[in-house]
Structure 1
């Protein structure tokens, strides 16, 4: 059944992006100056989870690299590389400048110096989940280097601005903003149809089933593709030529569970502690969560930072927030959800 498994994998960047022409053109125009050896404006790409922010950024960057030889690119997941050292190291490593850097003993300032001294091709730096950086000054350093073009990806513009100091707020507000909305069902159907065309055997899934997947995914392309991938994998293991409705039902739960588990595994140690506190004693308000967190954490973060953790976990469907800001309580998201066969 599966002809090309790459097409169904998370992180796959297709040759064509469905229903994002305006956003592709906008980001391309922002980065275009680097193809002429000129500095480019910083781009801020925002939108909810599953709208293709990362895919769009990587797609546009690869298009530029196909057009111009003297353009490089580096991608940093700031949720995983959330410290200043990890972020700078990842960029330098992608550029081949970490041979004599020791993770335990090299000063942070030396990494910044190396970036300042870099004299190779201009570089597009994609900072994904940029609001997760513990030290947002990384953005300031990179923003000030003309040989680097920044693409900052975040779910919510307001939360990104709240995570940085005033000098960065001013610079980011004056940057080019590419805002992305959730997909409609018809758009998700087209995305799925394209993945089926290139990744699966003909007639392995019906149009009606694809529409059910789109409806169940509620605008989240990552979830929609995950459901299709899980169902196709089940059919492939069972040597079936078609995806059945029963396979779709199981695939919906499996895809949600996989996404949730991946998000949990991506949490930083402090975020995971906050998550565990809510899990063990839900529902809890921010004040109670922070009190327990400070009792258990080594070098606890500020109350504002913990509130941003809670907001981020709510955005990624790990926690559910109920009530106003004054009486808000957090609990774990119920794993039950609408299936594509209902």
Structure 2
């Protein structure tokens, strides 16, 4: 039934950017302006799963092919400014050692580029706002930046004035798809990824409605429904297969989200999961009690309480952690307590040993 499973993979580009035509044209306009004026970036914003990364990657790849520019897609979550520069240098075709001094990286990028242009797509760049990374990168002649984040107002509020000016007028906000729109997208995936006529339009519309227009969840639900149909030896997807596919899809997305997160996020997640339920104050106390052991012999260093709050927001956006109000405190818990972080988080001692 599943003819091409890669069609449902997050890394596979969509057949086309259906129902994002206006956003495509706006991003192309901003890229042209960046080439001519060198004072305009772009900020792609919206909730998880609505196609921000697909939009950025597809448009930049086509733009680079047509105009001969270089571009690089950088997963910015949890990265330092130095790491961003190293990835930019490699994206520009240069080489740089991981231990190259940070104060040399700007000149190295400048030398690597020469008179060429480089567009950087900074994905999952919520943390970058509180640093001067974008300002330092765009200070290098020929470098232009497209930022992907969830909350544009919050991102711009934490950025410095120069970066706010650079991104002024460059906001592109993506909303969730309508039911018919997402059903069209799912139909495109089904045509390529599944054998013919195994899912009905009504079923696609049901999925689109039930996932509230979130493309990623809809695509994964369609894939899960096909998997369940195969397991049940059905010749086509039944309504019961769709009904049972939602939790499988959400579980798959949560697992992928968790394993994509950097070390700091996974430490906080494991502390919450291990505790069962924990208040924000208790979480900070627990973190500070174990941080010396957790971060021993690692390049990373413990993060501040403010940084922890930002990372908790990401865990909630990724549907890994939920919180509820308890009197005047927030109570955190893991959405799926059976989902453990990857094996690198092994040095968190049990609660009773903290």
Which TM-score band (shorter chain)? 0.7 to 0.9
- Alignment CA distance shift 1:137-1:249 (3 Å): same
User: Per-residue displacement from partner, 1:169-200 (whole Å, max 9, x unpaired)?
Assistant: 63356251111111222221111011122332
Q: How many residues align?
A: 328
C-alpha displacement at 1:61, in angstroms?
A: 1.0
Which of 332, 335, 350 pairs up with 1:333?
Answer: 335
User: Per-residue displacement from partner, 1:241-268 (whole Å, max 9, x unpaired)?
Assistant: 5223344344322221111011111222
CA contact (8 A) 2:110 2:141 kept: no
Q: Which runs of 5+ in 2 are unaligned?
A: 293-300, 338-354
C-alpha displacement at 1:149, in angstroms?
A: 1.7
Which of 75, 78, 96 pairs up with 1:77?
Answer: 75
User: 1:45 matched to which residue of 2?
Assistant: 44
Which of 82, 103, 106 pairs up with 1:112?
Answer: 106
- Alignment CA distance shift 1:169-1:134 (3 Å): closer
CA distance in 2, matches of 1:134, 1:84: 11
CA distance in 2, matches of 1:172, 1:240: 55
- Alignment CA distance shift 1:223-1:44 (3 Å): same
- Alignment CA distance shift 1:173-1:328 (3 Å): farther
SS in 2 for 1:328: strand
CA distance in 2, matches of 1:325, 1:174: 40
CA distance in 2, matches of 1:161, 1:291: 30
User: Per-residue displacement from partner, 1:114-170 (whole Å, max 9, x unpaired)?
Assistant: 112222531211000111349722211112234122110001123423554x34563
CA distance in 1, matches of 2:185, 2:285: 45
Greater alpha carbon shift after TM alignment, 131-140 vs 194-203? 131-140
- Alignment CA distance shift 1:246-1:30 (3 Å): same
Q: Which runs of 5+ in 1 are unaligned?
A: 336-342
1:133-172 aligned at under 5 Å gives the runs 133=128, 136-161=131-156, 163-164=158-159, 166-167=160-161, 170-171=164-165
CA distance in 2, matches of 1:28, 1:302: 38
CA distance in 2, matches of 1:115, 1:78: 17
TM-score normalised by length of structure 2: 0.83
C-alpha displacement at 1:304, in angstroms?
A: 0.9
SS in 1 for 2:57: helix
CA contact (8 A) 1:42 1:143 kept: no
User: 1:59 matched to which residue of 2?
Assistant: 58
SS in 1 for 2:278: coil
CA contact (8 A) 1:278 1:332 kept: yes
- Alignment CA distance shift 1:214-1:274 (3 Å): same
Which of 168, 180, 195 pairs up with 2:189?
Answer: 195
C-alpha displacement at 1:305, in angstroms?
A: 0.8
User: 1:322 matched to which residue of 2?
Assistant: 324
User: 2:22 matched to which residue of 1?
Assistant: 22
Relative contact order, higher structure (CA 8 A, sep 6+): 1
> Over aligned residue pairs, what C-alpha RMSD do you find?
2.6
SS in 2 for 1:297: helix
CA distance in 1, matches of 2:37, 2:129: 30
